[in-house]
Structure 1
Amino acid sequence: MSTGTVAKPSAAPKKAGRRKLTWPWILLIVAAGLVLFSLVRVVSGADDLTSVGQISGALQLAVPIAMAGLGGLWSERAGVVNIGLEGMMVLGTWFGAWAGYQWGPWTGVVVGILGGAVGGLLHAIITVTFNVNHIVSGVAINILAVGFTKYLSNFTFDKAEGGSSKQSPRIDPITDITIPGLSDWLADLHGKHWFLISDLAGILGGLVTNLSVLTIVAALLIPATWWVLWRTAFGLRLRSCGENPVAAESLGVNVYKYKYIAVVVSGGLAGLGGAFLAIVSTGIYQEGQTGGRGYIGLAAMIFGNWMPGGMAMGAGLFGFTDSLKLRGGAENVHALLLLVALLLVIAAAWQLYKKKYIPAVIAAVFSVGFFLWYALTDQVPSQFVDAAPYITTLLVLALSAQRLRMPKADGLPYRKGQGK
């Protein structure tokens, strides 16, 4: 009797994963985006789209959103959802202004960070120690922060010279940096309105004109966060708490400690964003001045797929649309209709290339709609201009939802020793 060998079942073919973007591809995408933006500016005549003032204003508006988003990233990478970023920003604005007008702007920055960190500590106690639902805790902190700062204003700012129950006295400014020769040359180059060259000059000019020192500090925190969380043993342990806390605990990681650190740092970063609003953006504390930026920062973090670089891009996008609303208003937002139409054409072509015909048809139909809207109107309604940053937030989140992957244990309850 002959014996035959049993054939091993062939391994299932591996599904091709999403190709990771390399630096050459990223630079190519950025260059293509700049060309497209320049084309829209030339066709529409909205020369302020890439002006020095527009880019400088967008950067200033993006910093508070980026700090809130960075705070959310720290917290959620450790497995704690932080809806309370808005309230922590409110604490940062109030405490930053309170210390800033008395002892100087840098003291205000430090105290604003501490104010936000206290809010983060409260959130950590409620969620990590007492295991309360993270969303409930965050909403409670948002409500508590607003009421607490209103109460404090009644017997602090209200009694101070130049203040009232709704605003603080004026705070001394933090030093701005401008490179005189380079800044003026780039502004002149942008004023010539050349295709692509003037747009690049406007973008670079916005980065070297009236740049607050605190803006530079805030920008450096983004690569610093990437290095700490993805290149150190501390960051690996912290991220393991957001992916699989039971496994992390079995390897000797003190999960509670890392969650506490992450949420307190999260609150401190949100507090820094709030202090920036009060000290740099306006030079004064005003009731309600955060304007939902904590929530938009959370949206920027989600858009960035819980990564610092993507979060920074999201914050820049939201800051840019917010700046468009303040500068040029209807004309600039009207030009964006053409940009959206062109982007939809590209999306339709890409879907056709991938042989996904239904999404391609949908993108093409919407593209025609935006082209007609742009061609048949001279400006958009003022209500649409005011809502542009929030509409952008919703659209970006809707379009990026399919590629997102949050930390696996994000928002899940955890008790020490639960894996035993």
Structure 2
Amino acid sequence: MTTTATAAPAAAPPARKFKLTWQVLLLGLLALLFLLSVARVLTGANDITSGGAIGAALMAAVPIGLAGLGGLWSERAGVVNIGLEGIMILGTWFGAWGAIVTGNPWVGVLAGAVGGLVGAALHAVATVTFGVDHVVSGVALNILGLGVTKYLSTLVFAEMSGGGDTQSPRIPAMTTVSLPWIGGPLQELEAKHWFFLSDLAGVLRGLTQNVSLFTLLGVLLVPLTFWLLWRTAFGLRLRSVGERPVAAESLGVNVYFYKYVAVLASGVFAGLGGAFLAIVAAGTYREGQTGGRGFIGLATVIFGNWRPGGLAAGAGLFGYTDALQLRQGGTSVHALLLVVGLLLVAVAIWQLVKQQRSRAALLTGIAAIAVLVVFAVTDTIPEQFTSFTPHLTTLLVLSLASQRLRMPAADGLPYRRGQAK
């Protein structure tokens, strides 16, 4: 008697995980620029890809990105830093003060970083050493930053010519740089309003002409952060503290040291963001000029899934929408509705075909139809709504990205040396 062995069905090959490479990123950026070009041609809103708008977007994105880097460093070590707004406020005041007293804006940059470092040191002592709740300490730091700068302005700036209780005198201008020989040709090509080519010229002109050295520093800190945290032993230890501090301690990692380093670094980054607002963006210190950018920086950390690249994309998105609503208001924002509608259509198709999520695709499709209908029946967006555009954009993006997010496992959790778990 013979038996026939039935062969086991072959295991299905594992699904290939999507990997973001520089080629994919470049194609995505070109596709987005193509959509913006379509919207510009159909609506006549030439400012959405102009060199001025892109330059303003870059300037608006840098302080948000610096605040986000501060949140990234802190939370990767397990410390939630809600006090980024207060630290940025300290950075604006000390940055302006250092530049005005010495007449050198780079001294102001250093002073802003030191001011942020002092604020972060208070947060580190409270949370890491004494175990104070991270949110409570952060809220207290926000209140402290506002009160301290108000007192210092009354004490220092009110006595200076051109200053007052709520603002400083003018700050010495920061040096700007441009790539030589290409500014004129790019401007001429942009002025022709050709499809895609003029839009590409406008983007390149905004990114390469009249860019402050402080802006370049802020941009370079993003890849530097990635290299330090993901390509060095120091970064591995710091991230392990935010994921499994007890396991890290068992391997000889000084958990308290790395938490302190991360929180202090977050203060330096946020302080630099505040100094940028005062020295580059405004040229003066004004009370309340941070405008909640510290909180928006935290939102970019979540949007970027606690990674530098995603954080930079979130900061760029917010900076772009902020720049548009300040330059042309309702006209440019109305043109963006077409871009948002087309992007939602693409997302719905992706969810239906690639991810097999029919319900999510249906909801996204309904949202796309609603946006396109609003675009079709209106000619402009009321001013009351355009001022809220950057915040609304951040909320929408966070809601769409919420399913893929994973925060560090020990983020916000108290830690004591020798604890069992």
TM-score range (shorter-chain normalised) is: over 0.9
CA distance in 1, matches of 2:188, 2:328: 20
CA distance in 1, matches of 2:293, 2:139: 15
Question: 1:182 aligned to 2:182?
Answer: yes
Query: How big is the shift at 1:41?
Result: 1.3
AA paired with 1:19? F
Query: How big is the shift at 1:32?
Result: 1.5
- What corresponds to 1:90 in structure 2? 89
Query: How big is the shift at 1:358?
Result: 2.2
AA paired with 1:232? T
Query: How big is the shift at 1:369?
Result: 1.6
Query: How big is the shift at 1:381?
Result: 1.1
Q: How many matched pairs?
A: 412
- What corresponds to 1:5 in structure 2? none
AA paired with 1:397? L
CA distance in 1, matches of 2:117, 2:47: 38
Matches within 5 A, 1:187-202: 187-202=187-202
Question: 1:68 aligned to 2:53?
Answer: no
Q: Which moved more, 1:133-142 or 1:20-29?
A: 20-29
SS in structure 2 at match of 1:284: coil
Structure 2 vs 1, CA of residues 253 and 12 (structure 1 numbering), >3 Å: closer, same or farther? farther
Query: How big is the shift at 1:357?
Result: 2.3
AA paired with 2:158? D
- What corresponds to 2:3 in structure 1? none
Matches within 5 A, 1:67-146: 67-103=66-102, 104-146=104-146
CA distance in 1, matches of 2:280, 2:249: 42
SS in structure 1 at match of 2:208: coil
CA distance in 2, matches of 1:216, 1:123: 29
AA paired with 1:376? V
Matches within 5 A, 1:387-398: 387-398=388-399
- What corresponds to 1:3 in structure 2? none
Query: How big is the shift at 1:23?
Result: 2.7
RMSD: 1.7
- What corresponds to 1:46 in structure 2? 45
- What corresponds to 1:233 in structure 2? 233
Gaps of 5+ in 2: 1-7
- What corresponds to 1:355 in structure 2? 356
Gaps of 5+ in 1: 1-8
Query: How big is the shift at 1:173?
Result: 0.6
The Cα offsets for residues 15-46 of structure 1, whole Å up to 9 and x where unpaired, read as: 75742223322222222212112111111111
- What corresponds to 2:18 in structure 1? 19
- What corresponds to 2:346 in structure 1? 346
Matches within 5 A, 1:190-339: 190-339=190-339
Structure 2 vs 1, CA of residues 249 and 10 (structure 1 numbering), >3 Å: closer, same or farther? farther
The Cα offsets for residues 294-316 of structure 1, whole Å up to 9 and x where unpaired, read as: 01111111111111111111100
AA paired with 1:304? G
Query: How big is the shift at 1:361?
Result: 2.2
Q: Which moved more, 1:124-133 or 1:19-28?
A: 19-28
CA distance in 2, matches of 1:11, 1:364: 37
Structure 2 vs 1, CA of residues 286 and 24 (structure 1 numbering), >3 Å: closer, same or farther? same
CA distance in 2, matches of 1:13, 1:249: 40
CA distance in 2, matches of 1:252, 1:194: 61
The Cα offsets for residues 272-291 of structure 1, whole Å up to 9 and x where unpaired, read as: 00000000111100000000
- What corresponds to 2:373 in structure 1? 372
The Cα offsets for residues 77-117 of structure 1, whole Å up to 9 and x where unpaired, read as: 11101111000000000011111111121111101000001
AA paired with 1:247? A
CA distance in 1, matches of 2:10, 2:118: 54
Write out the 4+ residue segments of structure 1 that deviate beyond 6 Å after TM superposition: 9-15
AA paired with 1:262? A
AA paired with 1:382? E
Query: How big is the shift at 1:11?
Result: 12
Query: How big is the shift at 1:132?
Result: 0.8
CA distance in 1, matches of 2:168, 2:161: 9
- Normalising by structure 1, report the TM-score: 0.95
Structure 2 vs 1, CA of residues 196 and 132 (structure 1 numbering), >3 Å: closer, same or farther? same
- What corresponds to 2:27 in structure 1? 28
CA distance in 2, matches of 1:342, 1:190: 24
Q: Which moved more, 1:35-44 or 1:409-418?
A: 35-44
Q: Which moved more, 1:279-288 or 1:346-355?
A: 346-355
SS in structure 2 at match of 1:181: coil
Query: How big is the shift at 1:10?
Result: 11
Query: How big is the shift at 1:348?
Result: 2.1
SS in structure 2 at match of 1:207: helix
The Cα offsets for residues 338-389 of structure 1, whole Å up to 9 and x where unpaired, read as: 1111112112222221432222222222222222211111101111100000
CA distance in 1, matches of 2:225, 2:293: 20
